[in-house]
Structure 1
Amino acid sequence: MPFRFNMLLEEAGIDPAKVRLLRHQPTVGGQSLADIWRNDPSLFELYQAAQATAQRVQFSRAYWAAFIGTWDGRTMFVGLYEVDAPTLIAEDRVAPISGVVDPGGQYDHYPTSLADALKGYAGRLFIDWGGGASGKRAWVQKAETQDKLVTELTLDASDRPFPGLMELTAPLSSLDAAPPTWAQRLKEARGVYLLTCPRDGSLYIGSATGEGGFWQRWSEYRANGHGGNVAMRGRERSDYVASVLEVSGSTATPDDILAAEASWKRKLLTGQFGLTRN
């Protein structure tokens, strides 16, 4: 028999008809929501607590089962929340995380508290939300009519196998939410990488020659949005998708890696059509 989310609710004595399923997007305001949930759960809860008044019928349930979409297309369970009656937010306010100004009278605040039920599954349990990797289905659903298939249950929230340097493809904004073992692998490796703009497909090819490897170089883009690249500096900030084109051997010198980078630039014509300016 398939393992489904409602089995866990019923085992905990919770009627699925009292539960709304919420799937949050991977990033908010350019920041990884999973990273915020791990490091500052109160900020995540404050963000989640504000919902549109026009959709009050969608959210007024005894429980919210909260999920976050991950950068690799999965849907991660982050907690079951007990929900009290909403109150209207009458004044304009600056939304947590995104910094967007929410107009007064259009949003409710829901007092929530993390339930003990299912707490041990947070960060470990993944479901099939539907709609493919993008999760392009309604982000709020009824648990009683949408009994989600459990696709993965890990022993530890951070214990996911590294996919391999040549298989890894991830938005830069999501890398801080990756397990520490992944960061270590990326720090140890040097070579040539590709950044792809998700808005228009523009390509940038760069190289990681320093001791911090790919991780250090990609962290620079995360910090300032351009990593020192002239073409990126003059563009609207984007959540570039990073991947590895070539891993250099341990004996490769910085000049060897730069030569490999130049070769890839010629092959992919990033000087003529991409974001390469050198």
Structure 2
Amino acid sequence: MQQILPSIFEGDDFPGYDKVKLSYQQLHTIITRGKRDWISAIENQKAVYVITDKSNGKLYIGSATSNSGMLLQRWSSYVQNGHGGNHALKQLVVENGIDYVKQHFQYAILENYNAKIDDTIILQREAFWKEVLQSRSFGYNRN
């Protein structure tokens, strides 16, 4: 007699940097289960990313540099506390709870770079996207 063991869904395979669009729950699964293809794809990547609050359309533009521990470390901090240390997101979590983030936030990569690119380029691109997407005026960016 054979038994079929249930397989645990561990999320979709890494689709490529230009196709990353994750809910909080998907990101949580990737980080907590250590999904190898995702981890190897983002652990040494610098990036400019966007967090979208799907309940109101507000955006947060962030960056992952060598100073912030690359993309894996940045996104792990969002899974851990919902705000990653950002002031406006921290205030949102205090006011609405982590469940708000779990229900409404989506994470995507705007631009990705290898580890050798200078951090100042990443920070310049982050500032560019904040300007283009008006995330200081209408979103969660305060700097």
Q: TM-score range by the shorter chain?
A: 0.7 to 0.9
Match of 2:121 in 1: 256
| Residue 186 to residue 232, structure 1, CA distance change in 2 (3 Å) | same
Match of 1:277 in 2: 142
| Residue 172 to residue 215, structure 1, CA distance change in 2 (3 Å) | farther
- How far apart, in 2, do the equivalents of 1:233 and 1:254 lie? 25
Unaligned runs of 5+ in 1: 1-11, 13-115, 124-156
User: Which residue type is aligned with residue 23 of structure 2?
Assistant: P
Matches within 5 A, 1:109-120: 117-119=3-5
Match of 1:100 in 2: none
Unaligned runs of 5+ in 2: none
User: Which residue type is aligned with residue 165 of structure 1?
Assistant: Y
CA contact (8 A) 1:172 1:218 kept: no
2:15 to 163, 180, 183: 163
Matches within 5 A, 1:48-127: 117-119=3-5, 121-123=6-8
Q: Deviations over 1:144-173 (max 9, x none)?
A: xxxxxxxxxxxxx66964200110111233
Q: Report the Cα offset of residue 191 of structure 1.
A: 1.3
Match of 1:174 in 2: 26
SS of 2:19's partner is: coil
Q: Report the Cα offset of residue 265 of structure 1.
A: 0.4
CA contact (8 A) 1:202 1:274 kept: yes
Q: Does 1:199 align with 2:45?
A: no
* Number of residues of Structure 1 aligned to a counterpart in Structure 2: 130
User: Which residue type is aligned with residue 208 of structure 1?
Assistant: A
Match of 1:110 in 2: none
- How far apart, in 2, do the equivalents of 1:266 and 1:197 lie? 18
Q: Deviations over 1:18-62 (max 9, x none)?
A: xxxxxxxxxxxxxxxxxxxxxxxxxxxxxxxxxxxxxxxxxxxxx
If you compute each CA radius of gyration, which structure gives the higher value, 1 or 2?
1
Q: Does 1:223 align with 2:80?
A: yes
Q: Deviations over 1:220-241 (max 9, x none)?
A: 1111111111111111231321
User: Which residue type is aligned with residue 233 of structure 1?
Assistant: K
Question: For the aligned residues, what is the CA RMSD?
Answer: 2.4
Q: Which has the higher helix share?
A: 2
Q: Report the Cα offset of residue 189 of structure 1.
A: 1.1
- How far apart, in 2, do the equivalents of 1:190 and 1:172 lie? 20
| Residue 184 to residue 176, structure 1, CA distance change in 2 (3 Å) | farther
Normalising by structure 2, report the TM-score. 0.79
Q: Deviations over 1:107-151 (max 9, x none)?
A: xxxxxxxxx7532x523xxxxxxxxxxxxxxxxxxxxxxxxxxxx
- How far apart, in 1, do the equivalents of 2:56 and 2:77 lie? 22
Of all paired residues, the percent bearing the same amino acid is: 32
1:247 to 96, 112, 119: 112
- How far apart, in 1, do the equivalents of 2:133 and 2:12 lie? 32
CA contact (8 A) 1:158 1:180 kept: no
Match of 1:84 in 2: none
CA contact (8 A) 2:24 2:106 kept: yes
Normalising by structure 1, report the TM-score. 0.43
- How far apart, in 2, do the equivalents of 1:228 and 1:166 lie? 26
Find runs of 4+ consecutive structure 1 residues off by over 4 angstroms: 157-160
Q: Which has the higher strand share?
A: 1
| Residue 197 to residue 251, structure 1, CA distance change in 2 (3 Å) | same
User: Which residue type is aligned with residue 19 of structure 2?
Assistant: E
